[in-house]
Amino acid sequence: MITRRENETTLKDVAERAGVHAATVSRALDPARQHLVNAKTREKVRVVAEELGYRVNTVAQSLRKGLTGLVGVLVADVANPFVAPLLRGIEQEFRTHGAMLIIAETHDDSQTLATALDNFAKRRVDAVILTAALQGDEPQVRDAAGGMPVVLAVRTLPSGDWPSVTHDDVLGGRLAAQHLVDLGHRRLAQLKGSSRNSSFLGRSTGYESVMATTTARDVTGDVIASAPTVEEGFRLTTMLLERDEKNVPTAIFAHNDQLAVGAIAAIKERGLRCPDDLSVVGYNDSPLAGHLDPPLTTVRLPTWELGRQAAHVVIEILGGAESVEPTPPLPPELIVRGSTAPAAVDAELASS
């Protein structure tokens, strides 16, 4: 038999001290219903609850609503520096709502994603925030969404059937390419991520839109990363530097900061200097990007805010919202540091 612990403050105690009905206290302390109570009463209840040390019984509250208080979050790789601020934004938004996160990785594998979604369903999570969807994953996501709300974050899927919160990666790609063109670079290359990843597709689209309007040449060729890692950045940049002189880039746009770190390492390995010989732009503005040698020019994303907004969409859905307003893509910002500089005189152009 479950009994009340000695000296445990109840909702009724708060109501009596505040001079209001217990139902008013319940509404005032429930984020989903607190709008039903006027601001003055809400604040009075909050202060009294704090003074008495009252804690909302989230288990009982969840049982009444048919919810577990658990939210699943799927990420591609928890070791990616991009993921930490994303998760922090999600967690901080959910914290005041008494929800807890269950986090799983997909390693960008569609079967692993399907298994994780199935495990979330078996554990009766209230909703899923999916940050690791790849083009072609629609069937798995559609199956999961039949039993629980799914919100896409960071990456989108072509069908557009699910609420999504994303960055404006097309604009980010444009900012990176335009910066390099404005510095006078005339041979540019991308270190491209997988074409199944909507974020990388957007960055390529933005880059290519700039290249289509300039006399600069894209010398990327068929260089595509098998994974967005430092190792792949090193390998691909080495390939670019081993080409004939007329097709060696003077500037590189990497689709994330890890690829950019690998690019800089490959440049140094060949006895070249960044940015004197090659400029490099990354993407994401990872926590240590400004402390590299040289400090990395990169595209900063409001990742914490994206996580917060994704969590807010889930809260709206679980609160009974019949529809959720589309969230416009969050704008990126170019952060210029020491890895980019004006292009040296191009011998190919100088002799023409």
Secondary structure (DSSP) of 62-95: HHHHT--SEEEEEES-TTSTTHHHHHHHHHHHHH
pLDDT, greater one: 185 or 243: 185
Note the pLDDT of residue 67: 78
Average pLDDT over residues 95-109: 90
Note the pLDDT of residue 6: 42
Q: Match 């917060």 to its residue by tokens.
A: 308
- Among 2-16, 34-48, 244-258, which range has the highest average pLDDT? 244-258
Residue range 11-56, CATH number: 1.10.260
Fold that domain 67-167+302-328 belongs to in CATH: Rossmann fold (3.40.50)
Average pLDDT over residues 214-218: 95
Q: What pTM was estimated for this model as a whole?
A: 0.79
Average pLDDT over residues 107-135: 94
- Helix (H) or strand (E) segment spanning residue 190: strand 187-191
Query: Which residues in 139-158 are b (16+ Cβ under 10 Å) and which e?
Result: ebbeebbeebbbbbbbbbbe
Vertex 251 angle, CA 248 and 255, to 5°: 110
pLDDT classification of 5: cutoffs 50, 70, 90: very low
Q: What is the dihedral of CA 330, 336, 338, 343, to 10 degrees?
A: 120
CA-CA distance, 131 to 140, in Å (whole number)?
A: 14
Q: 11-56 with 169-301+335-350: one CATH topology?
A: no
- Residue ranges of the domains in the chain? 11-56, 67-167+302-328, 169-301+335-350
Of 191-200, 279-288, 310-319, least confident by mean pLDDT is: 310-319
The conformation of residue 285, written as its DSSP 8-state character, comes to -
pLDDT classification of 27: cutoffs 50, 70, 90: confident
Note the pLDDT of residue 54: 76
pLDDT classification of 32: cutoffs 50, 70, 90: low
- Between β-strands 279-281 and 333-335, what pairing exists: parallel, antiparallel or unpaired? unpaired
Looking at the chain, the whole-number percentage of residues with pLDDT higher than 70 is: 91
pLDDT, greater one: 154 or 6: 154
Average pLDDT over residues 18-46: 82
Note the pLDDT of residue 248: 95
- Helix (H) or strand (E) segment spanning residue 164: strand 164-165
**DSSP tally for the chain: helices H, then strands E:** 13, 11
The type of residue at 318 is L
Note the pLDDT of residue 2: 30
Superfamily holding 169-301+335-350: Response regulator (3.40.50.2300)
pLDDT classification of 23: cutoffs 50, 70, 90: confident
CB 161 within 8 A of CB 140: no
